[in-house]
A and B are shown apart, each in its own frame.
Chain A
Amino acid sequence: MSELDIVGPQLAILLAAGAVLVWDALLPSQRKALPYIALAGILGAAIWTSTWVIRGDFQTAFDGTFAIDQYAVFFQYVFAGITAIVVIASIDWVDRVGRRQSEYFALVLTASAGLMFLAGARDLITIFLALELSSIPQYILAGWGKDQRSSEAGMKYLLLGAIASALLLYGMALLYGFAGSTLLTDISAAISEHGADNRSLLVVASVLLIAGFGFKMAVVPFQMWVPDVYQGAPTPVAAFLSVGSKAAAFAVVMRLFFEGLGEQFLSNDWAMIFAVIAAVSMTLGNVFAIVQRDIKRMLGYSSIAQAGNFMIGLAAISIAGEHFVQGASGVLLFVAAYAFTNLGAFIAVIGISQRIGSDDIADYAGMWRRAPLLALALAFCLISLAGIPPTAGFWAKLYVFNAGIQADLVWLVIIGVLNSVVSAYYYLAVVRQMFMGEAEEEQRLAISPTVGVALGVATVGVIVFGIIPTPLVDAAREAAAIFAVS
């Protein structure tokens, strides 16, 4: 029982997924209730997670393959928040699509349960299973739309995802062959014992793992799918992909690399890989984002650049030392801030695009007059993505850059800040278009209340944590502290 207690949050969500399906089969006339069942499940998960915080008695389950600790709790909250916002933002869209509503919510919930499992996974097999549990529903969701572009997006995502999984498995197989165990703690012990003699094997395994997760994190050179999938997939799904699977990949990479492969001689190698990927991702992502006309493609490229920013933090923490926790908490802070900011931006796009029937940035002209609150919220999210105060995005960037400086990665931080300048250009270009551009029509846009609620939650979070970042920073620090002892 106690093991079921540990995975309670995940179970609550899976239970809700089942309930959604059953409800639809039994009471097809009461479809309106489906999203609220889903939300109830998410709320249950959040409450269950909170009981673990209150109990403060963190432990592992299933022979150490799964842990509930501050780190897992942090990410479970983040994923619960992401899923809740995505569900709320989807209500309107799902209603208009009309078909297979229960399946949609069930898939979102299943993917979310997979993400939550990833947060606590401490074993290669658990990691892989959780990753697939979250990925497969997302492949389906990406192809959910009726048009050809959505099908193409789903197919592309599936094929590239399969290759990534294969690479990942190969890397894991190498690690298992070396350590004789799939537990991260065992792998870590094996490496410190006789890892130095097998350095090349371990480096190859690291590279394969980075490639596999790089696909999920959407960093260069594993980013090919991003713009097409973001553009083709239904917007709520694109929002989910852009934050959920990205955040989960970072969560798992941090645990895998620091708990499993954290030995100093090895971490120097992969720190350099991370640093180079960070520099290239930021630069290419931003350069391509500038020329985009479609806002979803633009957000796609910008999310590649943002992943590069996370990577600065990853590269920084691998250079261990007393400032380790600060760097790790920087990454966590970034993950949380990015998640809500990017969700907010996508939801605003959902709200606007549904009404004007276009994703073209040029059509956002004069949005300030047509939908003032929506335009204001989108503006705040874009400003936060650009890392300009007073928003959560600023503190996130500040912490990550600070970690970079402390780890002596000054060159990387300089590339990072210069990229922030570049990114400010295209984010602010959208803001300018909305506030200065002349609208072709002056007609006010009616925004559905559910989109308004989802957007409101995300935007208020962005602003409140921009002005009072301490609670978020504290939470990130506590979550990161679990690495300090190892």
Chain B
Amino acid sequence: MLLTLLVFLPAFAGLLILLLPADRAGYSRWLALLGSLVALAISIGMFFDFQTGGGFQFVDRASWIDVGSFEIQYFLAVDGLSMPLVVLTTFLTVAAVLVSFSIEHRPRAYFACLMVLSTAVLGVFTAMDFLLFFLFWELELFPMYLLISVWGSGRREYSAMKFVLYTVAGSAFMLVAILALAFSAGTFDMEVLGTSTITTAVLPLGWVFLFLFIGFAVKLPIVPLHTWLPDAHSDAPTAVSVMLAGVLLKMGGYAIIRTCVTILPDQANDYGIWLAAIGSISVLYGAFVTFRQTDVKRLIAYSSVSHMGLVLLGIGALGTTAMVGAAYQMLAHGLITGMLFVVVGLMYERTHTREIGRLGGLARQMPLIATGLVFAGFASVGLPSLAGFIAEITVFLGAFQKHEWAVIMAIFGVVLSAGYILWTLQRVVFGPVRHEWDEADDQKHWWEHASVIGLAALVILLGVYPSLIMDMLDPAIGVVSARVAG
């Protein structure tokens, strides 16, 4: 029951928020904070209660729809792969609530959407019935659409619709693949699918793999399916960018490991080299395009494309080390990019511009925020002792033997990332002071900095004590790579 409680707690908080009377709308943020903090506490409790290497745990299972050969279960569980992602989600939800604490436009609806979004993502990470997984995957669209199109900026409706259409188009293929798989295996149970050998389906299995992959690759996103991401990021409010970069992209990487690779190991072997190739192309292409960005949020968005390419590269190598690296990179990127978006959001609130050309010398006027930006930037570059470094080095070590040239290409992408991050920091934080923002208040509210400090602490923790997570990931991924190895 614990897992069910965790998954639906945010949505329940969202419902309570909606029921608040209009003159009590101000309480919605506190309710959201309370709900997300309790969820965080539960997930941390589960994290320490988790039996490393013990397979799927905290199982909640019930028959939901059972008619003829078509059985759909309500089946939630976590293993070593999903447990850290669950904690990441609850943690970033708290951060997202904190950065939107000052929101004034229709706060009840806003926080309710944010809470439902959190439930949807938690559901994706914990659902072990393929159809339930799909339902949560789709559920995430509604709050995202509303959050971007109502509380966004710029061309928000265009961006929101683009986000929805890309995702829905991807999930259309996903649904075909899910049905084809379930029909040939006779079950939607992902645990069963992940342990049985499927040799035939109504579709060629390569197609099934491809269709699933398309659905997830849109989310990841990979080049050339990435164009929705910069639009969505640049028009979304800060908290939504945090959730989008922090956990929504991870749904793609998680799902590729959990379904494509685990359920169809033979096809994964066949296509692994392509995944690695697409991954390193994403790394390089993303990095090059990042250089050209003049909007800070778009810049981070493209750097996300580049960093998520590493995840795909790691998965494409199919070995334990490389895939652990990929999973670690998801966590590290979630924290680091989440932090970048938080800091940029704080900066934007004070300067009202995200144009790099108009910014400069912020280290003088808002030293705290500038420190946060520099820290997150260094983390993003992959400075040793921070989380990103561990992730990148593990991916490269794991993948080098299998896809030498792809790794070499990707390493160039990482070098480029040092270039664009440092260059951006130099233009935004340092350089001549612009007196426009002399009046800016660096420490306006405690909650703004609470999330930055929390994120920074985790980035350091994951950088110096990786075995906290690695030990959990290792056995879970080991099962997958053993399947791939045959």
Contacts and interface: CB of A to CB of B under 8 A. Distances in A.
Interface of A: 323, 325-326, 329, 388-390, 398-399, 401-402, 405-406, 408, 410, 413-414, 417-418, 420-421, 424-425, 428, 432, 435-436, 469-470, 473-474, 477
Interface string B141-172: 10001100110000001000100110011001
B69 interface: yes
A474 to B, nearest CB: 6
Given A398-B175, A398-B179, A436-B149, 17 more contacts: A325-B68, A326-B68, A388-B138, A401-B175, A405-B202, A406-B202, A410-B202, A410-B203, A414-B172, A414-B176, A417-B172, A418-B169, A425-B165, A469-B65, A473-B65, A474-B67, A477-B67
Interface in B270-322: none
Contacts of A436: 149-150, 157
Given A406-B202, A473-B67, A420 B149 contact: no
A406 B201 CA distance: 10
B405 interface: no
Nearest to B180: A405
A436 B145 CA distance: 11
Contact of B176 (A410, A432, A469): A410
Contact of A417 (B67, B175, B203): B175
12 contacts: A329-B68, A389-B138, A390-B135, A398-B131, A401-B176, A401-B179, A405-B183, A410-B202, A417-B175, A417-B176, A424-B164, A428-B164
B25 to A, nearest CB: 16
A399 to B, nearest CB: 8
Nearest to B150: A436
A418 B170 CA distance: 9
B172 A420 contact: yes
Contacts of A414: 172-173, 176
B70 interface: yes
A470 B67 CA distance: 7
A469 B146 CA distance: 27
A191 B139 CA distance: 49
Q: Please list the 7 inter-chain residue pairs (A to B) with the smallest Cβ-Cβ separation, ordered nearest first.
A: A417-B172, A405-B179, A473-B67, A421-B168, A389-B135, A421-B169, A402-B179
B166 to A, nearest CB: 10
A432 B149 contact: yes
A393 to B, nearest CB: 12
Contact of A421 (B145, B149, B172, B203): B172
B66 interface: yes
A421 B169 CA distance: 6
Contacts of B164: 424, 428
Contacts of A413: 176, 179
A418 B65 contact: no
A80 to B, nearest CB: 24
Contacts of B64: 470
Nearest to A428: B164
Nearest to A383: B142
Given A405-B202, A417-B175, A436-B150, A410 B68 contact: no
A402 B67 contact: no
B278 to A, nearest CB: 22
Contacts of B175: 398, 401, 417
Contacts of B135: 389-390
B203 A326 contact: no
Contacts of B183: 402, 405-406
Contacts of B180: 405, 410
Contacts of A432: 149, 157, 161
B176 A405 contact: yes
A421 B165 contact: yes
A419 to B, nearest CB: 9
Contacts of B69: 323, 326
A406 B149 CA distance: 39
A116 B236 CA distance: 52
A477 B145 CA distance: 36
Given A389-B138, A405-B179, A477 B172 contact: no
Given A390-B135, A402-B179, A410-B180, A418 B172 contact: yes
A60 B285 CA distance: 70
Interface string B48-70: 00000000000000001111111
A151 B131 CA distance: 48
Given A418-B169, A424-B168, A432-B157, A326 B70 contact: yes
A322 to B, nearest CB: 9
Given A410-B176, A418-B172, A402 B157 contact: no
Contacts of B157: 432, 436
Contacts of A477: 67-68
A261 B357 CA distance: 73
A212 B295 CA distance: 60
Nearest to A326: B68
A410 B207 CA distance: 11
B187 to A, nearest CB: 13
A320 to B, nearest CB: 16
A470 B74 CA distance: 13
Contacts of A325: 68
A414 B169 CA distance: 11
A210 to B, nearest CB: 26
A390 B66 CA distance: 17
Contacts of B172: 414, 417-418, 420-421
A287 to B, nearest CB: 15
Contacts of A435: 146, 150
Contacts of A405: 176, 179-180, 183, 202-203
A136 to B, nearest CB: 39
Given A390-B135, A432-B157, A408 B65 contact: no
Contacts of B165: 421, 424-425
A329 B68 CA distance: 11
A336 to B, nearest CB: 14
Contacts of B65: 469-470, 473
B149 A417 contact: no
Nearest to B139: A389
A329 B64 CA distance: 18
Contacts of B173: 414, 417
A297 B241 CA distance: 38
A305 to B, nearest CB: 15
Contacts of B169: 418, 421
Given A389-B139, A410-B180, A402 B202 contact: no
Interface string B171-210: 0110110011001000000000000000000110000000
A389 B176 CA distance: 16
A15 B139 CA distance: 47
Contacts of B67: 470, 473-474, 477
A359 B67 CA distance: 41
A410 B172 CA distance: 13
Contacts of A428: 145, 161, 164
A428 B161 CA distance: 9
Nearest to A330: B70
A417 B174 CA distance: 10
A463 to B, nearest CB: 14
Contacts of A473: 65, 67, 70
B220 to A, nearest CB: 19
Contacts of A389: 135, 138-139
Contact of B66 (A410, A417, A470): A470
B134 to A, nearest CB: 8
A47 to B, nearest CB: 27
Nearest to A395: B65
A413 B178 CA distance: 12
Nearest to A389: B135
Contacts of A401: 175-176, 179
Contacts of B202: 405-406, 408, 410
From B66, B168, B183, residue with most partner A Cβ within 10 Å: B168
Nearest to A408: B202
A48 to B, nearest CB: 28
A325 B69 CA distance: 11
